[in-house]
Structure 1
Amino acid sequence: MNARTEPAEAEPVTPARPPVVRELLLVAGLFAVYKLGRQLAADHTGEAFRDARDVWHAERWLHLPGEGAVQSLLLHGDGLAEAANAYYATVHFPATLAFLVWLYLRRPAHYTWSRRVLAAVTAAALLLHLAFPLAPPRMLAATGLVDTARVYGPSVYGPPQTDHLSNQFAAMPSLHFGWALMVAIGLIVATRSRWRWLWLLHPLLTLLVIVGTANHYWLDAIAAAALLGAALALIQAPRRTAATDTAGGRDARELVPAERRVLVGAGR
């Protein structure tokens, strides 16, 4: 009897990781350009407050919920306000960095896609910061909101006149929210767990924090989501294959059935 075998499926090819030194230099360069751009827009105080009043009135005209409704939940106790301030100050960059490092190590193709999307959103945000300087709601007396970071701590900002490390008039769009939303979308696209949709809790919590601490208006988050949507429409996500699912390029759930067919055919 002649053993009949089926041709084995080709071994999936693992997507190549970009050179790590190049990626570090690229990310550092993008961050430096972004910080420089924020500083260029830091002196438009009068314009920033005029834009803030316009945004506040636009939200009321659109019947968006008042930011004070969220903040009132934080002001029930010092602990909630302090936790929200700490989240705002410490989660933004580390969470995004951890996301990119994990993708780089485990999903190289998704890493490249996510890095491009984040770079596009950040570049567009920089242009908007330059064109539309905006004072955050904590600075606008008309909002009646409390600067929770100043009152309860911790705070990442000093007085605008002496704070040379950040541009506090770059409220729109909110990159806190835009980056958090991309982290969630990137992990949902790159993984298969039935629980992966829970990653959406990260941008949801971020949204409540940035609004409740009076660092951003609702429209800041809406603008960030719009920019992210445009970037996702223009930059195509990689296709899901066995090679993109594991660092070794093999997904047992997909490859084992094929190998089983070869073994069964060889035994006939």
Structure 2
Amino acid sequence: MPVVTDPQPPAQTGAPSAPDGGRRRVVAMTIWGVAFVAAWLVIGLPTDPAYAFVWIWAATIAWHSARPWRSHLRFARDWIPVVVLLAVYTISRGFAANGATPHAMEMIVVDRFLLGWATGGEVPTVWLQEHLYRPEVHWWDVLVSWVYFSHFVATFAAAAVLWMRDRSRWAAYMRRWGFLCAAGLATYFAYPAAPPWWAGQNGLLTEVARISTRGWKEMGMHGAGNVLNAGQIASNPVAAMPSLHTAFALFVVLYFLPSVRKRWWPLLLSYPLAMTFTLVYSGEHYVIDVLVGWVYVGLTFLVVNLAERGWAAWRARRTPEAATGERQSPVPAQAGPSPQETVPAATDAVPAEH
């Protein structure tokens, strides 16, 4: 989808790399990779926002190790407010139930209505686990665990790449991501809904296993899910509607789709589909949760695009010099150029291919 940007040249972040930056980058990224794997096996994968931020910041420092430290401190300055907001979002989501019994039967009825013809009247989660879930771990369980984990780093990693390449696009990305998070959080408070595994535990469905992290154990990575499992235990199970897991996956793909060659589109679009299968199979979400999450992504782009256009038009009317990026010299009204000549129109800008 098109992204509305300010009518000014893109702001590149940081100073150019030094001529010997390539060798230094290889060494620094190797050190980062070894440290990341060690922490991953001992502590767990970085699924907490603050923990993920530390590793992504360290990765940007390693990648641009030849740059001055002020460039790396600028990253922290821009990102710490984002991390704080995500932490507040995560904590606030736990208060969404407010002691009330979460909604559950509505999603069960809708899922049976949508796909019961293909599942023999079963909820898709129950049908998938009846056909695929076994006590022993299979290769698809490993893939499911990796796809599920990607939710916690994909949006962060994409944002970090944007920040390093073009800070104006990073800002546009964060505005949309922030709106999507806020819309999801508001819905959790207005309509607290429980996932399939909760319904299974409370007798509303045939027993549903929560199996989103079991695949790592098959690879010998018993500590990989420690952080995530702790977060799942502490979380309040009322954040099923909408599914922000799938919403984030679709959001990242749609944001970058215009800047990617069309032959790669099927590969990119397979990511939100893989996330959908992962969430439904592992008992984390219903199909209707996923569909509503996709609707939220579309509304996010629509609302934020319209808001940015309105903001650009308002700035152009109130402060012409702000729209051009230059302060106009005071001239008599009759001698000055017309507003149409001095104020560029705010247009949709499709990011160029990289």
TM-score (normalizing by structure 2): 0.56
Question: SS of the residue aligned with 1:127?
Answer: helix
Aligned counterparts of 2:83 and 2:193: Cα–Cα separation in 1: 26
Aligned counterparts of 2:85 and 2:172: Cα–Cα separation in 1: 16
Give the match for residue 144 of structure 1.
Answer: 206
Aligned counterparts of 1:159 and 1:17: Cα–Cα separation in 2: 36
Q: Alignment partner for residue 245 of structure 2, among 146, 158, 176?
A: 176
Does residue 40 (structure 1) correspond to residue 95 (structure 2)? The answer is yes
Aligned counterparts of 2:12 and 2:186: Cα–Cα separation in 1: 30
* Aligned positions, number: 227
Contact (CA 8 Å) 2:280, 2:286: kept in 1 or not? yes
Aligned counterparts of 1:191 and 1:102: Cα–Cα separation in 2: 15
Aligned counterparts of 1:56 and 1:196: Cα–Cα separation in 2: 33
Q: Alignment partner for residue 102 of structure 1, among 161, 183, 205?
A: 161
| More contact order relative to length (CA 8 Å, sep ≥ 6) | 1
Q: Alignment partner for residue 11 of structure 2, among 10, 16, 19?
A: 16
Give the match for residue 29 of structure 1.
Answer: 84
Q: What value does the CA root-mean-square deviation take over the aligned residues?
A: 3.0
Contact (CA 8 Å) 2:144, 2:212: kept in 1 or not? no
Does residue 129 (structure 1) correspond to residue 188 (structure 2)? The answer is yes
Question: SS of the residue aligned with 2:238?
Answer: coil
- Output the amino acid matched with 1:120: F
Give the match for residue 263 of structure 1.
Answer: none
Aligned counterparts of 2:253 and 2:213: Cα–Cα separation in 1: 31
**Residues 47-76 of structure 1, C-alpha deviations (whole Å, 9 max, x = no match):** 21xx11122113223456623343345326
Aligned counterparts of 2:353 and 2:151: Cα–Cα separation in 1: 26
How many angstroms does 1:31 deviate by? 0.4
- Output the amino acid matched with 1:227: Y
Which sits farther off after the overlay, 184-193 or 147-156? 147-156
Question: SS of the residue aligned with 2:182?
Answer: helix
Which ranges in structure 1 are unaligned for 5 or more consecutive residues?
1-12, 247-268
Aligned counterparts of 1:159 and 1:179: Cα–Cα separation in 2: 19
Aligned counterparts of 1:159 and 1:35: Cα–Cα separation in 2: 10
- Output the amino acid matched with 1:121: L
How many angstroms does 1:201 deviate by? 1.2
Aligned counterparts of 2:143 and 2:108: Cα–Cα separation in 1: 22
Does residue 232 (structure 1) correspond to residue 301 (structure 2)? The answer is yes
Q: Alignment partner for residue 201 of structure 1, among 270, 285, 292?
A: 270
- Output the amino acid matched with 2:179: A
- Output the amino acid matched with 1:59: D
Q: Alignment partner for residue 54 of structure 1, among 99, 106, 117?
A: 106
Question: SS of the residue aligned with 2:138?
Answer: helix
Q: Alignment partner for residue 71 of structure 1, among 120, 123, 129?
A: 129
Q: Alignment partner for residue 283 of structure 2, among 214, 238, 255?
A: 214
What percentage of aligned pairs have identical amino acids?
Answer: 26
Aligned counterparts of 1:225 and 1:190: Cα–Cα separation in 2: 21
TM-score (normalizing by structure 1): 0.72
- CA gap of 1:42–1:159, structure 2 versus 1, over 3 A, is farther
- Output the amino acid matched with 1:95: A
Contact (CA 8 Å) 2:240, 2:285: kept in 1 or not? yes
